[in-house]
A and B are shown apart, each in its own frame.
Chain A
Amino acid sequence: MRLFDTLIQKLAGIRLTILLCILLALVSLIGTLIPQNLSDTQYADSYGPRAARVIVSLGFGDIYHSIGFVSLLSLLAMNLLACSGKRFPNVWHALRRGHPVPADRKFKSWKNRETLVLSAAGEDLEDRLEEIVSRVFGKSPEQKVCEEDERVLFIERRRYARYGPYVAHLGILIILLGGVTGIFFGFKGSLTLPEGQEASAAWARKTGESIPLGFRIRCDRFIFLQYPSGAPKEYRSEVSLLDEEGTKVMEAEIRVNHPLTYQGITFYQSNYGKVFETTLRVRDRENGQETVVTTELNRPFLLPGDQGMRAMAVAFQEDLRIPAEMVRRTSFSGTSLGPAVRLVTLEEKGFGRPFWILKNPPESDPTKGGDYHFVLEGYRSISYTGLQVARDPGAPLVWAGCILLLLGFLMALLLDHEIFWISTKRQGPKKVALTLAGRGIRHPAVYHSRFERQTARLRKELAPWVKGG
Chain B
Amino acid sequence: MKESTLIGLSTFIYLASWVSYLVHAAFRRKGPGVAGDVLAVCGLLVQTFAIGLRWWESHQLGIGHAPLSNLYESMVFFSWTMALTYLLVVRRLETRLLGAFVMPLVCFSLASTSLMNQQIQPLVPALQSNWLTAHVFTCFLGYAAFAIAFCFSLLYLLKTRGTPGSGGYLDRNLPGAELLDEFSYRMIAVGFPLLSLGIITGAAWANSAWGTYWSWDPKETWSLIVWLIYAAYLHARIARGWKGKRSAWLSLIGFAATLFCYLGVNLLLSGLHSYATG
Contact = CB atoms under 8 A, between A and B. Distances in A.
Interface string B109-144: 000000000000110111011000000000000000
A409 interface: yes
A414 B269 CA distance: 35
B228 A395 contact: no
B92 interface: yes
B218 interface: yes
Interface stretch (B26-34, B42-50, B162-170, B204-212): B204-212
Given A17-B235, A18-B232, A233-B125, A257 B209 contact: yes
B128 A21 contact: no
Contacts of A188: 211-212
A446 B231 contact: no
Contacts of B218: 32
A257 B211 contact: no
B212 A409 contact: no
A21 B213 CA distance: 21
Contacts of B38: none
B196 to A, nearest CB: 6
Given A36-B216, A231-B124, A413-B189, A406 B221 contact: no
A257 B128 contact: yes
A14 B233 CA distance: 11
A405 B269 contact: no
B84 interface: no
Interface in A33-53: 36
A227 B122 CA distance: 8
B1 interface: no
B207 A395 contact: yes
Given A14-B239, A268-B211, A406 B197 contact: yes
30 contacts: A14-B236, A17-B235, A18-B235, A18-B236, A21-B232, A28-B225, A29-B221, A32-B218, A32-B222, A32-B225, A188-B211, A188-B212, A227-B122, A229-B121, A232-B124, A256-B128, A257-B126, A257-B209, A259-B208, A268-B208, A268-B210, A268-B211, A388-B211, A398-B203, A399-B204, A406-B197, A409-B192, A413-B189, A414-B190, A414-B193
Interface of B: 63, 92, 121-122, 124-126, 128-129, 178, 182, 186, 189-190, 192-193, 196-197, 200, 203-205, 207-214, 216, 218, 221-222, 224-225, 228-229, 231-232, 234-236, 238-240, 265, 269
